């Protein structure tokens, strides 16, 4: 493993750390409540999909906690079980999607709860659906719902290279699940078109921005008779779209005429991330084994070095300019005050539509975004005699599983327009159990955008770390020690918050 402490000059150097206990090609990393990382799955040598001979159906931790632990989900979900889609839930459990299969993992007791298969399509790599945990808000009692859009409808025996996968249409369906409350899947609005390798990026206003990907085929590359050069995907999609989880079902997708398309085919090995100013950076794409120059005969999709930025519809509107933004956010404890000048709140009902949000952009690789999370803080407001307003803002709920410790952006959003994001440290900046404290009642008036809803009340509260695993779910205890796996395959992640 390699660590990097970012800097503002050229002095940064990668530092070698203690290796993992096993080889892992295409594993998943998820930050836990204490700031440590769980490392899940992978294989020994790579390849288009996994196979029994090189499968690594285990998980381990960084910093290391010793031997690896077996994960039955990854043993039963071959071959499309690489980069298993994983989220830390507010209950403290992990939701893991692998191929068609899914499980809730209590990693503290090494216990799995198998839950129903995902409908319609394979969402994991190389099917590669766009995916995200929807915003955690006071209105939904910080209850996590997971959204999957697109992917590839292939059965386990179809992930073979003896047919033209690159001509197979990508899936257009979207499904969601709220696993701390109910392990049943629900259909959501389908995308405007089928898409594999799309990236979902959170916007500060709570919408998701979908970009990149392909209409046919899957992630991956190889030397087959039907590959496009070496690409297993075709039909790049240039048009982004907005998904609004708060819009009525049936009208959640939009693609306004002023939403400019990409000018670059973003396919395998592409990435996208939110920037502090609320724009989105997109880069990469190389569905080939090595560098391929533009114009190379027989290679319609080459190695791409262009970087693009997308500017959502709020970008050129006057931005809120709050003062008093904190540099750290704790789990409970005293609230903090922000001040908004008169000019920021002059519009009708502006204060009723003002919220304070924390976004962890996470990290992106292979058209996958890991670690991304959006949390709205509770807040109230009071108007001042000079026409300005004071926002009273709660800290995070006293439950680190709502948002794991580490760096994030804080935004103040007024009627859908965000301030420029400021970096905050969530938690105490140290590995280990995070301090928590009770949350005092806020003075002032609660805006409509913060108030709880009937739906949230029906969901119940999991912000305090309650578990709601489905009764009767099959339970498997997994404690397989693997001692004969070979040495480490390189893995890099950023720990810029570790001091």
Three-state SS at 454: helix
Q: Is the CB of residue 202 less than 8 Å from the CB of residue 274? A: yes
Query: If pLDDT is split at 50, 70 and 90, which confidence band does 6 have?
Result: confident
465 has a pLDDT exceeding 70:
no
Rounded to the nearest integer, the mean pLDDT of the chain is 92
2 has a pLDDT exceeding 80:
yes
Task: Please report the pLDDT score of residue 477 as a whole number.
Answer: 35
Q: Is the CB of residue 87 less than 8 Å from the CB of residue 144? A: yes
498 has a pLDDT exceeding 60:
no
The terminus-to-terminus CA distance of the chain in angstroms comes to 17
Mean pLDDT of 5-25: 92
Facing residues of 38 across strands?
30, 61
Cα separation, 371 vs 198, in Å, equals 16
383 has a pLDDT exceeding 80:
yes
Q: Is the CB of residue 320 less than 8 Å from the CB of residue 412? A: yes
Task: Please report the pLDDT score of residue 487 as a whole number.
Answer: 27
Strand order from edge to edge, sheet including 37-40 = 28-31, 37-40, 58-62, 69-70
Closest CA to 408 of 391, 394, 421, 393: 421
Q: What is the CATH number of domain 328-450?
A: 2.60.40.10
pLDDT in tens, 97-146: 999 999 999 999 999 999 999 999 999 999 999 999 999 999 999 999 99
Instruction: Tell me the whole-structure pTM to 2 decimals.
Output: 0.91
Task: Copy the structure tokens of residue 407.
Answer: 């760096």
Three-state SS at 340: strand
Query: If pLDDT is split at 50, 70 and 90, which confidence band does 453 have?
Result: low
3-state helix, strand, coil in the chain (%, to 5): 5, 35, 60
Residue with tokens 């002023």: 258
Residue with tokens 């043993």: 75
CB atoms within 10 A of CB 309: 12
Closest CA to 430 of 15, 29, 33: 33
Annotated domain spans of the chain: 1-115+474-499, 118-274+279-314, 328-450
Task: Please report the pLDDT score of residue 496 as a whole number.
Answer: 32
Q: Is the CB of residue 398 less than 8 Å from the CB of residue 381? A: no
Closest CA to 260 of 235, 246, 247, 279: 279
Task: Please report the pLDDT score of residue 452 as a whole number.
Answer: 63
Q: Residue 76 has what DSSP assignment?
A: H
Task: Please report the pLDDT score of residue 88 as a whole number.
Answer: 99
454 has a pLDDT exceeding 80:
no
Q: Is the CB of residue 74 less than 8 Å from the CB of residue 51? A: no
pLDDT in tens, 254-298: 999 999 999 999 999 999 999 999 999 999 999 999 999 999 999
Residue with tokens 């420029």: 420
Task: Please report the pLDDT score of residue 409 as a whole number.
Answer: 99
Task: Please report the pLDDT score of residue 348 as a whole number.
Answer: 87
Task: Please report the pLDDT score of residue 93 as a whole number.
Answer: 99
Which residues, other chains included, contact 264 with Cβ-Cβ below 8 Å and sequence gap of 6+? 238, 282, 285, 304, 306, 308
Q: Computed from CA positions of residues 297, 281, 401, 378, in that sequence, does the dihedral angle turn out positive or negative?
A: negative
């Amino acid at each position: 493993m390699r660590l990097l402490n970012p800097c503002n000059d050229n002095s940064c150097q990668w530092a070698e750390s203690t290796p993992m206990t096993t080889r892992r090609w295409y594993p998943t990393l998820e930050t836990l409540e204490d700031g440590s990382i769980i490392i899940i799955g992978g294989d020994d040598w790579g390849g288009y999909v996994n196979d029994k001979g090189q499968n690594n159906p285990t998980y381990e931790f960084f910093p290391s906690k010793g031997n690896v632990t077996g994960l039955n989900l990854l043993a039963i979900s071959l071959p499309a079980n690489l980069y298993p889609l994983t989220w830390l839930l507010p209950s403290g459990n992990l939701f893991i999607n692998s191929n068609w299969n899914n499980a809730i993992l209590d990693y503290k007791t090494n216990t799995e709860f198998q839950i129903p298969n995902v409908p319609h399509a394979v969402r994991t790599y190389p099917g590669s659906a766009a995916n995200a945990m929807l915003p955690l808000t006071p209105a939904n009692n910080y209850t996590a719902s997971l959204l999957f859009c697109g992917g590839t409808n292939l059965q386990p025996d179809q992930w073979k290279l003896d047919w033209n996968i690159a001509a197979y249409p990508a899936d257009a369906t979207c499904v969601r699940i709220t696993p701390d409350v109910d392990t049943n899947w629900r259909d959501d609005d389908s995308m405007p078109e089928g898409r594999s390798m799309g990236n979902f990026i959170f916007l500060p206003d709570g919408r998701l921005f979908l970009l990149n990907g392909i209409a046919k085929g899957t992630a991956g590359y190889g030397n087959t008779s039907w590959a496009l050069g070496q690409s297993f995907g075709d039909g790049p999609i240039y048009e982004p779209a907005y998904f609004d989880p708060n819009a009525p079902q049936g009208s959640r997708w939009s693609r306004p005429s002023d939403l400019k398309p990409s000018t670059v085919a973003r396919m395998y090995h592409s990435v996208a991330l939110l920037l502090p100013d609320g724009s989105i950076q997109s880069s990469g794409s190389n569905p080939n084994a090595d560098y391929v120059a533009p114009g190379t005969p027989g290679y319609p999709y080459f190695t791409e070095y262009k970087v693009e930025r997308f500017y959502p519809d709020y970008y050129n509107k006057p931005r809120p300019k709050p003062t008093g933004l904190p540099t750290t956010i704790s789990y409970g404890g005293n609230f903090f005050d922000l001040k908004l000048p008169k000019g920021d709140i002059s519009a009708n009902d502006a204060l009723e539509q003002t919220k304070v949000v924390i976004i962890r952009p996470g990290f992106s690789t292979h058209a996958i975004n890991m670690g991304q999370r959006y949390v709205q803080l509770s807040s109230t407001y009071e108007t001042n005699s000079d026409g300005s307003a004071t926002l009273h803002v709660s800290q995070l709920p006293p439950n680190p599983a709502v948002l794991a410790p580490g760096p994030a952006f804080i935004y103040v959003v007024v009627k859908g327009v965000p301030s420029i994001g400021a970096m905050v440290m969530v938690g105490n900046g140290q590995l280990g159990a995070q301090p928590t404290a009770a949350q005092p009642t806020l003075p002032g008036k609660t805006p409509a955008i913060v108030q709880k809803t009937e739906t949230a009340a029906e969901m119940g509260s999991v912000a305090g770390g309650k578990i709601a695993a489905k009764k009767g779910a099959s339970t498997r205890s997994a404690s397989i020690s693997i001692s004969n796996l070979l040495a480490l395959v390189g893995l890099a992640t950023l720990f810029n918050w570790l001091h």
